[in-house]
A and B are shown apart, each in its own frame.
Chain A
Amino acid sequence: MYDFNFHRPKSLRKAAAILAENEEAKLIAGGQTLLPTMKQRLAAPSDVVDLSAISGLSGIELKGRKLQIGAMTKHYDVATSQVVREALPALADLAGMIGDPAVRNRGTIGGSVANNDPAADYPAACLALNATIVTNKRRMTADEFFTGLFDTALEEGEIITKVIFPLPKRAAYAKFRNPASRYAMAGVFVSKRGREVRVAVTGAGSDGVFRLTQAEEMLSKRFSEKALKDLTVDPDGLVGDIHGSAEYRANLVAVMTRRAVAAA
């Protein structure tokens, strides 16, 4: 890893100012993705801005029918929170499936969402629940936020402060994990809120997280596994690599969608 200037600002304003002054600066939350990336020299920021000393960025709060999670809230805290367990158990389950216990003790929801790794879990939950991503500048829906592989609508100097999940009537996440990396080979989050059904897929799309509109239409008529009996997923646009071909992933996506609906 190349050396860098380390900053640990105490306020969002200060953090944003450091980002504005240093074009090659990067934010660090739990660092569970950024540090391995820097070790491989795939990233070499001039400045690293640690968000951990800024107060008010972590915590879980239920506000009416919305669950608010601070950007610096760790996966372990989401996985074990009584509030999340009761209000949105699918999200607690998802958080408990990320990485391993030590990774969950450092990794954060804001970091995961901002990085938009094509195999990360949280983007699927955000997209399937149409979460609102709140930054120091504005609010965006998940549909607006995730724009492609490792790409988001975040602008220079923009910092995620929290993610707000509207509570669904039914939801579940089914993940087929790569046994070595523990990343999703295919992860499918399904949700039903009012009449709206949303299905989001991670781990399989070559352009990152995406909505499986075909399954959404089938499930809008009837939210049950049976409604998916004719579901076949097109391998076009899916990842094919040493871990599995695009066709294999297409099948996994269909299977995980059925499992998620059965569990919701």
Chain B
Amino acid sequence: MPKVSMTVNGELVSKMVEGRTLLVDFLRDTLKLTGTHIGCDTSQCGACVVHMDGSAVKSCTTLALACQGAEIMTIEGLADGETLHPMQTAFNDHHGLQCGYCTPGMIMTAVDMVKRLGVPDEETIRAELEGNICRCTGYHNIVKAIAAGAEAMNKSNG
């Protein structure tokens, strides 16, 4: 089996993987980072979104071996110790989840969105969420949470 090395949440990891190992399986099964979820496994739902070299990608549609040398950030890498990331706090404050299954992907997508777009308006947030599906909430509180998280992120960046 070939070996892959990448940085995950700031730590360098090197493991043997099969060619067909998906990034999401590598994260969940090999590294036991089970915060990243598998929803549809067909790149529709976004439960598996992580950041690869700073951009949101669907880890169910990325090969682990294609991440050789990459910097991966998962939901586990977002908080600063016990202090939640402002986007995580916003999802909590605005009740931006019900069952929570889509939440890691929603939050990783939201953080990527804010990094690119600053403080997006509601219409933009809804359009940007087209690759993330939630089957509980009807999205209203997710959109509110992202708007609030965007404000908080931009404030904390000074």
Contact = CB atoms under 8 A, between A and B. Distances in A.
Real binding pair: yes
Interface in B24-80: 41-44, 46, 49, 52, 55-58, 61-63, 65-66, 68
A196 interface: no
A182 B158 CA distance: 37
B66 A50 contact: yes
Contact of B130 (A5, A35, A39, A182): A182
Given A50-B66, A106-B58, A101 B112 contact: yes
Interface in A94-132: 99-103, 105-106
A182 B44 CA distance: 10
A156 B132 CA distance: 37
B100 interface: no
Nearest to A34: B61
B20 A1 contact: yes
Contacts of B55: 76, 105
B20 A3 contact: yes
A36 interface: yes
B66 A31 contact: yes
Interface band, chain A: 20 to 34
A32 B57 CA distance: 10
A139 interface: no
Contacts of B121: none
Interface band, chain B: 20 to 34
B66 A28 contact: yes
Interface in A154-198: 180-182
Interface string A32-50: 1001101100000000101
Nearest to A4: B19
Contacts of A1: 20
B2 interface: yes
Contacts of B132: 100
Name, among B49, B56, B65, the residue most crowded by chain A CB atoms within 10 Å (CB to CB): B56
B88 interface: no
Contacts of A11: none
A105 B61 contact: no
A146 B137 CA distance: 43
B113 interface: yes
B63 A102 contact: no
Interface of B: 2, 18-20, 22, 41-44, 46, 49, 52, 55-58, 61-63, 65-66, 68, 109, 112-113, 128, 130-132
Interface of A: 1-6, 8, 28, 31-32, 35-36, 38-39, 48, 50, 52-53, 76, 99-103, 105-106, 180-182
27 contacts: A1-B20, A3-B19, A3-B20, A4-B20, A6-B2, A6-B19, A6-B63, A8-B65, A8-B66, A8-B68, A28-B66, A32-B43, A35-B22, A35-B63, A39-B42, A48-B63, A52-B66, A99-B131, A100-B130, A101-B56, A101-B109, A101-B113, A101-B130, A102-B131, A103-B61, A105-B56, A106-B61
